Amino acid sequence: MIRQYELIDKIQGYNPKADVALINRAYVYSMKAHGNQRRASGQPYLIHPLEVADILADLHMDDATIAAGLLHDTLEDTLSTAEEIRKLFGDDVAELTEGVTKLSKVTFGDKSVEQAENFRKLLLAMSQDIRVLMIKLADRVHNMRTIEHKKAESQRRTAKETLDIFAPLADRIGLHVVKAELEDRAFKVLQPDDYAMVEERMQEWRAQDSLVDKVVALLKDELKQAKIDGEVSGREKAIYSIYRKMVRKSLAFDQLTDIIAYRVVVAGKRECYEVLGMLHDRFKAIPGRFKDYISAPKPNGYQSLHTAVVGPFGNRMEVQIRTREMHDIAENGVAAHWLYKPDPGIDSKKEEKKDPSLNPYRWLKGLVEQLQGVDDPTEFYENAKLELFNDNVFAFTPKGDLIQLPRGATPLDFAYAVHSNVGHKTVSAKVNGSVVPLRRVLNNGDMVEIITANNQQPNPGWRDMVVSSRARGAINRFLRQQEEVEQRRMGRDILEKAARRDGWGWSEKDIQKVLAAFPASQEIRDVDTVFLALGQGRLFPRQVHEALYPGEALQPAKEKKDKPAKGKKDAATPQDGDKTAGNMGLDGMVAGMAVHFAKCCSPLPQEDIVGIISTGRGVSVHMRTCRNLEQFADQPDRWLPVAWNAAALAGEMKIYECRIRVHARNVDGAISSITTAVAADEANILDIATEHRTSDSLTLRLEMQVRTKEHLNRLIQHLSANKHVLSVEKIYGWT
């Protein structure tokens, strides 16, 4: 355990002008406030805030942050008040302490909506002051260091939250040391056997291999001969990082060639490129492994040259080349940024207002502003994860402007990054002068030209062609607006037909007068939302009649037999194999009701659906975009609002049938590779048939069971990447 005077010595070591009195007051206040409280380990509670402050001091944080670290649990766990903290320690410390207290109440459980909403709160707190997250991360590091004192289930829950949320956030703001420790400690809890295996192999490797010292000595000699002043070191990769690479690339430990990352730290940028040239001249460069993060820094401010070469002993070497300042930022991320460095001669916040580019973490506020229009917490969470936890690629406009995109981005992502209107009107794209499909993945350095047309507009398929939150959000907003326009039109038609059928009248003015009569749960605000609710199946014409003519019984026209329109099969007629709603993953129906999924559209979890009632024969579930629903437009009382339940949306069931058509090359092993790919994606093939075959190609029809729409899309994507496959499509209208 660190002692108070040791903490002060450490802080003064990097900040001789530190406000020691402030930190001492915070220590004494925390000691008195926590009193005789003890942690689960039985140790005095004061040890925890002291260790958090020590971690923050290791990151060279400012006085206010360290003081807030000492106080971070006082508002939640003691009788202290925010007013008292503000009076004794000032606004800066008080705001940081309150921010961390609010984050302490944020948990990330298994409930997706609640987790997403908490993630939104976390990002908002971060965007106000990144130091709040720094204290929270230091708090999490110490909690993970002492996690063995928790119950087993609590350990696993905390470790999973650490691996899923806090380690990636630490990485995203450049705290790579913190990220590595959090990952390793969480990995040890979640997969103790795998952790022990990698750790044991690392110990054996350290005992046997003297290669690192040899390489470091040789690189130092090369720098000396080139008259370049620099430091050379070799650092082991973290245990979790090694394990993840073994799994991702299906490698045994002995097959790994980059357990060590070599680092060269020099005086300036010019020397960085000189060292790079020296390495490539002296050793054989490995193609495709060079990255220049100096000319194109990462969003968190990280700068370095990365290269890989075949070393002097036949070993593959990963080498990172950077300046001392770049090294500080690479190690400590936001903690190394001048914005939070104590400098009485500079008002950093005023400087940032004059020139926002001085703060490399402005991306965070931009991200939050960009996501403010997303009402659905789950969509916010998914979009934010795309931006926070993905690597980046950098592409150029024809004029040379740099566009930063998430890894895996396509020309369509690029178009939306330029402007939403450009994205909406995109018809094709050129990459490096050649026309390419809009789903083509971009590489670093690509020059992208977007071709637009005024009559173009997004379609639902575009959502599967983009990875950036900006593009996905813009497409979703456009499609929702278009869908709501169509739903309002459909709702008006349904009401008009029902009124004509049953002999009653209405006007928009009449409906306006009785809005309050509709159920509050329907979110009825005006006449348009009445039509929208009717079109979405949340409201029925009889409810409108009851609101307009209270107490007056509806006199329906003479009942018609449930016959389909001439020449059409009633898509609502259940087929063989009907099941009940309870085991089909649906909410919104009476228990035990017979249900089947219409084969005209093969709805899957994550797609919008509606149920059509067939009297005495159960319910047929359709996609809301299914054309066969037109035949029921004048029978609104047969429409039943249904929804996928949590188990279906989570992909826990595997009973939803669909068909796909695969066009492939007619070569040996083609069919085998296709069925193997389907099995690898955990889809169950029910039937397979050859629709067409020539000497060059063949067309297969696969009937299968999948879990969700996302599952099917992923399967189609993987099949499309198969070297034997020409194209893949979902089949609609099968019987």
Q: Are both 384 and 296 inside the same structural domain? A: no
Residue 124 vs residue 293, higher pLDDT: 293
Q: Are residues 148 and 182 in the same domain?
A: yes
Q: Which residue has the higher pLDDT, 383 or 323?
A: 323
27: pLDDT strictly greater than 60: yes
Question: Which of the four pLDDT bands, split at 50, 70 and 90, describes residue 503?
Answer: confident
Average pLDDT value for residue range 691-720: 90
Instruction: Say if CB 416 and CB 450 are below 8 A apart.
Output: no
Q: Would you state the pLDDT for residue 534?
A: 81
* 643 contacts 587 by C-beta, under 8 angstroms: yes
Are residue 93 and residue 184 in the same domain, yes or no?
Answer: yes
SS3 content of the chain, % helix, strand, coil (to 5): 50, 15, 35
Q: Is residue 717 a part of any domain in this protein?
A: yes
The pLDDT of residue 59 is above 90: no
- pLDDT mean over 188-212: 85
DSSP SS3 for 57: helix
Q: Same structural domain for residues 383 and 316?
A: no
Rounded-to-integer distance, Cα 590 and Cα 577, Å? 19
Give 269's pLDDT tier (boundaries 50, 70, 90): very high
Please report which confidence band the pLDDT of residue 125 belongs to, taking 50, 70 and 90 as the band edges.
Answer: low
Residue 461 has pLDDT above 50, yes or no: yes
Catalytic residue flag (residue 528): no
pTM over 0.75: no
Q: Please, which pLDDT band fits residue 338 given cuts at 50, 70 and 90?
A: very low
- Overall number of domains in the chain: 4
Helix (H) or strand (E) holding 276: helix 269-282
Lowest mean pLDDT among 55-59, 354-358, 488-492, 618-622: 354-358
User: Does residue 719 share a domain with residue 670?
Assistant: yes
Q: What is the pLDDT of residue 146?
A: 93
Phi, psi (degrees; rounded to nearest 5) at 573 = -75, 120
- The model's pLDDT over 302-334, given as tens digits with 9 standing for 90+, comes to 789 999 888 887 778 889 999 988 888 777 765
Does some domain include residue 677? yes
Q: What is the 3-state secondary structure (H, E, C) of 96-145?
A: HHHHHHHHHCCCCCCCHHHHHHHHHHHHHHHHHCHHHHHHHHHHHHHHHH
Same-domain pairing of 26 and 145: yes
365 domain residue, yes or no = no
Specify the pLDDT at position 344. Answer: 43
* Neighbouring residues of 444: CB distance < 8 A, sequence distance ≥ 6: 291, 296, 393, 394, 395
Mean pLDDT, rounded, of the chain: 80
Domain range spanning residue 10? Answer: 4-190
Name the strand (E) or helix (H) holding 313. Answer: none
Catalytic residue among 6, 76, 637, 691: 76
Show the CA angle centred on residue 397, arms to residues 395 and 399, nearest 5°. Answer: 135
CATH of the domain at 123: 1.10.3210.10
Q: What's the average model confidence in pLDDT over 112-133?
A: 64
172 & 85 share domain: yes
Rounded to a whole number of angstroms, the CA Rg of the chain reads 31
Q: Is residue 620 part of a domain?
A: no
pLDDT of residue 465: 87
Residue 724, domain CATH: 3.30.70.260
Query: Of 132-146, 186-200, 523-537, 611-625, where does mean pLDDT reach its minimum?
Result: 611-625
List, edge to edge, every strand of the sheet that includes 594-597. Answer: 579-580, 594-597, 618-623, 609-614, 639-640
CB-neighbour burial class of residue 248 (10 A; exposed 0-12, middle 13-18, buried 19+): exposed
Average pLDDT rounded to a whole number, residues 678-701? 87
Work out the pLDDT band at 637, boundaries 50, 70, 90: low
What pLDDT does 426 receive? 93
Lowest mean pLDDT among 77-81, 91-95, 554-558, 583-587: 554-558
Clarify whether residues 186 and 201 are in a common domain: no
Q: Among 273, 307, 335, where does a domain finish?
A: 335
pLDDT above 60 for 390? no
| Residue 719 pLDDT greater than 80, yes or no | yes
- Ranges 163-172, 196-205, 385-394, 721-730: which has the least confidence: 385-394
- pLDDT-derived band at 347, boundaries 50, 70, 90: very low
pLDDT of residue 118: 58
Higher pLDDT, 141 or 564: 141
Residue of 431 and 616 predicted with greater confidence:
431
621 located within any domain: no
Active-site pick, 19, 58, 77, 510: 77
Please indicate, yes or no, if residue 641 is contained in any of the structural domains.
Answer: no
CA angle 405, 408, 412 (to 5 degrees): 65
More confident residue, 173 or 369: 173
- Give the residue-averaged pLDDT of 277-297: 86
Share of the chain above pLDDT 70, in %: 80
Task: Look at 502 and 89; give whichever has higher pLDDT.
Answer: 89
Both 181 and 235 in a single domain? no
Are residue 112 and residue 221 in the same domain, yes or no? no
Last residue of a domain, one of 455, 478, 501: 478
**Residue in the block written with tokens 């309050």:** 516
- Residue 691 is predicted with a pLDDT of 87
Q: Is residue 427 a contact partner of residue 455, using CB atoms and an 8 Å limit?
A: no
AA letter at 83: E
The answer to whether residue 510 is domain-embedded is: no
In the prediction, which pLDDT does 565 show? 38
Q: What is the pLDDT of residue 560?
A: 42
122 vs 5 pLDDT, higher one: 5
The verdict on whether 73 is a catalytic residue reads: no
DSSP 3-state assignment of 385? helix
- Is the same domain home to 210 and 160? no
426 and 405 Cβ atoms separated by less than 8 Å: no
- 212, 206 Cβ separation under 8 angstroms: no
Residue 384, pLDDT score:
58
Q: Which of 478, 493, 510 is a domain's end point?
A: 478
Say yes or no to pLDDT of 570 above 90: no
242 and 174 in a single domain? The answer is: no
